[in-house]
Amino acid sequence: MRKGLFLVVVTLVVGFIFSPCTWGAPKTIKIGINAPITGDIPKVGEGTKYAAQMWLEDIKAAGGLDVGGTKYPVEIVIEDNEAKAESAVTTNLKMITEDEVLVIVGPQSSKQAVPAGDVAENYGTPMISPWSTNPDTTKDRPFVFRGCFLDPFQGPVLANFIKEEFGFTKAAVLYDVASDYPKGLAEYFKEAWEKINGKGSVVAFESFTTKDADFSSQLSKIIRSGAEVLFTPQYYNEVALIVQQAHELGWSNPIVGSDSWGSAETVELCGKNCYGLFFSTHYAAAGAKGKTQEFIERYEKKYGYVPDDVAALTWDSLGIVQAAIQSTGSLTGNIEKDRQSVRDAMAGVKEYEGITGKMTFTEEGDPIKCAVIVRISEKGEFEFYKSVCP
Amino acid sequence: MIFFLQNLVNALQWGSFYALIALGYSMVYGILMLFNFAHGDIFMVGAYIGFGVATGLLALVSTGMITAPNWMILVLTILFSMILTSFVGMIVERVGYRPLRDAPRASAAITGLMIGIILETGNLILLGARRVSFPALIQTETYNLGGVYITNKKIMIVVVSLALMLALHQFVQRTKWGMAMRAMAYDYTVVPLMGVSINTIARLTFAIGSALAAAAGILFGVAYPVLDPYMGIVFGWKAFVAAILGGRGSVLGATLAGFLLGFIEIFVAMIFPSTLRDLIAYSIILLILVFRPHGFFGEPYSARLRL
């Protein structure tokens, strides 16, 4: 009896292992989505998930992904990285080794994308982070790409914008020292600002650590320093607290942010305090045209709110992935070989016309594209203010 | 000088939260010799219950079923949430601690950690990972007193916290229940023989501690209106530091240590680069503990303990 059971189990296991080879039909293409569904920035995860689901819908409607004349069914594996660096690494590992995904889209923020990119690189799996703006994500990693501009570009864009718009000479910076993205961007901004206004023109360079809720002592210092503008490259949850506390401590000068402000939730949490403030981002929903408008309308109809930049960038990244897979011409079914050929195809994409603008790619796998300065209007909408191109 | 005063005001507000939460830790530790590591999460639950009650009351007002000014809603929110959260505290005690009262202390300590995780993930499942924005019940008014900016919220927070601490002190010192709690802190094996039920006292202790945590949670929501399921973890650890620094089971000690912790954190960031804040702040605390291992008002374990 025991022996019989054992035999059955062995047969089943062996059967499972070899089943994909024995069925002959085109093998499913699996695309991994490494997203922060829970944790600090769940709205980012939600936008990622929704954009991916919309993309999958299109593929399904077309009867699969057409590669060299064969229609492959596509499956999306969405895994939660809890907005933590460690979890993003294990999530990548699991998707590569267990789920055997062909390509990974994500993680979104640099805090997770920088360490997770290392795993993708080591396992030879192409990965594209739609939203990570830190240079380290793709640096010296042929298998890692991104869908957005970089912080060394965004820093000067903001410094120039503030100079041109307000003519200020003294700036203050408040950032989270424990997170790659704000820390990197704070430094790039400081460098660019001091290049324009001379050394010592960043009069306060204050930091805090993730999960802090009280910024009163840092803000008091910033106010005392005589800064004319505050730059804070934080995520939406902290933005709400920083802006409110700054106003309560008597700060009435402009506060400027970066693309991490561009979430649908910023205004919801921050309210009137944030009206009239500026930040740089990847696209502006209000006043969009063509393909971008089409995407926004479809997303809004389906999920009930205007998509934020993460959703738009995820959509574009999936578009790049799709273009790359299709341009391989054929898939062998051997996951390692296919990953290599998809990577080569992605590196070969020289120009892509996405909904967040036209992009060309550098050697490092980074796109060159325009940034948008957005103003939060008196109605709490993200208004297009001006476009800054490299 | 103005800069110093401004930071003093900020520190008073920040310290109020530590003090209120530290009191809950300190009472449970003082009376039952337990580390209730779930206390930081009870603070979170209190804030969320406050969010629910406030949203509910505001909805009732908007439909016209009751009429109440916003300050009254805030008072009602604090009261209802304190009561509801004290029930959460009693359930935690009944489920998590009573069965383990005779178990090794380490088992009881990890119970707290586990209950904390259950509360966090329970909230996550119930409400999702979205952060919620605590309704603005009081219109912020900022007063400029010769360069020092004080808001009506800050005054309210400090006054309500001090009133609650004073009430607790009176309760412990002046009432029969308070006397029973002090007796239990003195010796929780002998006092039950005198007819004081340890179960009742344990329940009462948890209820009071949780009610204070709920008050802290709502005041926190008023000052920092972004709530998330993990907001209590680090905050709880730091308040635990304050509780130990105050001395075992000392109401006055926990209050003072809570404020001290707030002051140290704010003033270290004021003087040194803010990057070094926690490093320097907690080195100072460590140094204090080296010289006063039993905290400000604690006594060596060989001596008799008092609340």
Q: How far is B284 from chain A (nearest CA, A)?
A: 18
All residues of chain B having their beta carbon less than 8 Å from the beta carbon of residue A250 are 142, 144, 149
Element spanning A280, H or E: strand A278-281
Distance between A205 CA and the closest CA of chain B, angstroms: 9
From B7's Cα to the closest Cα of chain A, the distance in A is 6
Residue A288: pLDDT over 80: no
- If pLDDT is split at 50, 70 and 90, which confidence band does A286 have? confident
Pick the residue from chain B with its C-alpha nearest to A39: B129
CA distance A135 to A126: 17
User: Which of A93, A116, A265 is CA-nearest to residue A180?
Assistant: A116
**Could you tell me which of B16, B1, B266, B297 has the C-alpha nearest to residue B159?**
B16
Residues of chain A positioned with their CB less than 8 A from the CB of B6: 220, 249
Helical spans, DSSP H, in B175-276: 176-186, 198-223, 232-246, 251-271
In this predicted structure, what is the pLDDT of residue A357? 84
Q: Do B224 and A241 make contact, defined as CB atoms within 8 angstroms?
A: yes
Q: State the pLDDT at residue A21.
A: 47
Q: How far is CA B84 from CA A179, A362, B45, B47, B89, in A?
A: 37, 59, 10, 11, 9
**How close, in Å, is residue A134 to chain B by CA atoms?**
21
Q: What percent of chain A has pLDDT over 90?
A: 56
| Mean of pLDDT values over A111-140 | 92
Q: Does the pLDDT of residue A7 top 90, yes or no?
A: no
Q: In Å, how far are A353, A363, B293 from A350, measured between CA atoms? A: 10, 10, 66
User: How would you write the pLDDT of chain B (307 residues) with one tens digit per residue?
Assistant: 888 999 999 999 999 999 999 999 999 988 888 888 999 999 999 999 999 999 999 999 988 888 888 889 999 999 999 999 999 999 999 998 999 888 888 888 889 899 999 999 999 888 877 788 898 888 888 898 888 899 999 999 999 999 999 999 999 999 999 999 988 888 878 888 888 899 999 999 999 999 999 999 999 999 999 998 999 998 899 999 999 999 877 889 999 999 999 999 999 988 888 888 889 999 999 999 999 888 888 765 544 544 4
pLDDT at A5 (0 to 100) = 67
- Its sign, for the CA torsion B58, B59, B60, B64, is positive
Tokens of A376: 């939060």
At A316-346, the pLDDT tens digits run 999 999 999 998 888 888 888 999 999 999 8
pLDDT score for A15: 59
Residue A134 scores a pLDDT above 70: yes
DSSP letters for A115-148? HHHHHHHHTT--EEESS---GGGTTT-TTEEESS
Residues A269, B13: C-beta atoms closer than 8 Å: no
Q: How confident is the model at residue A12 (pLDDT cuts 50, 70, 90)?
A: low
Residue B168: CB atoms within 10 A of its CB come to 22
> B251-254 long-range CB contacts below 8 Å, 24 or more apart?
B251/B23, B251/B26, B251/B27, B251/B165, B251/B168, B251/B169, B251/B172, B251/B307, B252/B169, B252/B297, B253/B26, B253/B295, B253/B296, B253/B297, B253/B298, B254/B19, B254/B22, B254/B23, B254/B25, B254/B26
Query: In which band, very low, low, confident or very high, does the pLDDT at A150 lie, cut at 50, 70 and 90?
Result: confident
Residue A117: per-residue pLDDT: 93
Pairing relationship of beta strands A202-208 and A171-176 according to DSSP bridges: parallel
Helices B198-223 and B152-174: angle between axes, nearest 10 degrees: 170
Residue A258 to residue A241: CA distance in whole angstroms: 16
CA distance A275 to A287: 18
Which pair of tokens denotes residue A110? Answer: 């640099």
Residue of A207 and A361 predicted with greater confidence = A207
Which residues lie closer than 8 Å to A310 by C-beta, 6 or more apart?
A44, A47, A48, A51, A108, A130, A131, A262, A263
Contacts for A84 with CB less than 8 Å, ≥ 6 apart: A39, A112
Q: What angle do CA A239, A244, A250 make, to 5 degrees?
A: 130
Of B104, B123, B103, B102, the closest CA to residue B38 belongs to B123
Place of tokens 């907001």: B231
Distance of CA B179 to the CA centre of its chain: 22
Inter-chain residue contact A218 with B269, CB threshold 8 Å:
yes
Residue A69 pLDDT: 84
Structural tokens at position B152 = 């009506």
Measured distance CA(B53)–CA(B218) in Å, rounded: 10
Cβ–Cβ below 8 Å for B3 and A40:
no
State the pLDDT confidence band at A18, using cuts at 50, 70 and 90.
low
Hey, of B123, B144, B227, B274, which one would you mutate to test binding to chain A, going by the most A CBs within 10 A of its CB?
Answer: B274
Name the residue facing A268 among B6, B129, B133 (closest C-beta): B133
Q: Which residues pair with B5 in a beta bridge?
A: none
Which pair of structure tokens corresponds to residue A67?
């590669």
B3 and A CB contact within 8 Å: yes
Window B:95-134, CB contacts with A under 8 Å: 124, 128-131, 133
Interstrand relation of A127-129 and A29-35 (parallel, antiparallel or unpaired): unpaired
The residue among B7, B10, B271 with the most chain A CBs within 10 A of its CB, best to mutate, is B10
Domains delineated in chain A: 27-149+289-369 (3.40.50.2300), 151-281 (3.40.50.2300)
The predicted model scores a pTM of: 0.82
Are the beta carbons of A265 and B130 separated by less than 8 Å?
yes
Strands A171-176 vs A144-146: parallel, antiparallel or unpaired: unpaired
Report pLDDT for B307.
Answer: 47
Q: Could you state, in order of their start, the residue ranges of all structural domains in chain B?
A: 20-229
Contacts of B124 in chain A (CB under 8 A): 38
- C-alpha distance from residue B132 to each of A304, B45, B47, B48, B228 (Å): 18, 13, 11, 9, 7
**Interface A:B, Cβ pairs < 8 A:** 90
Q: Which residue has the tokens 């309704």?
A: B135
Judge whether residue A209 has pLDDT over 60: yes
Q: Which helix (H) or strand (E) holds A320?
A: helix A309-327
Please, which pLDDT band fits residue A192 given cuts at 50, 70 and 90? very high
Q: Is A304 helix (H, G, I), strand (E, B) or coil?
A: coil
Tell me, yes or no, if B224 comes closer than 8 A to chain A by beta carbon: yes
Residue A51: DSSP 8-state: H
Comparing C-alpha atoms, which of A42, A74, A110 is closest to residue A264?
A: A42
* pLDDT score of A264: 77
Please say whether the beta carbons of B21 and B231 come within 8 A: no
**Strands, DSSP E only, in A68-132?**
70-72, 74-80, 103-105, 127-129
Using DSSP, state whether B302 is helix, strand or coil.
coil
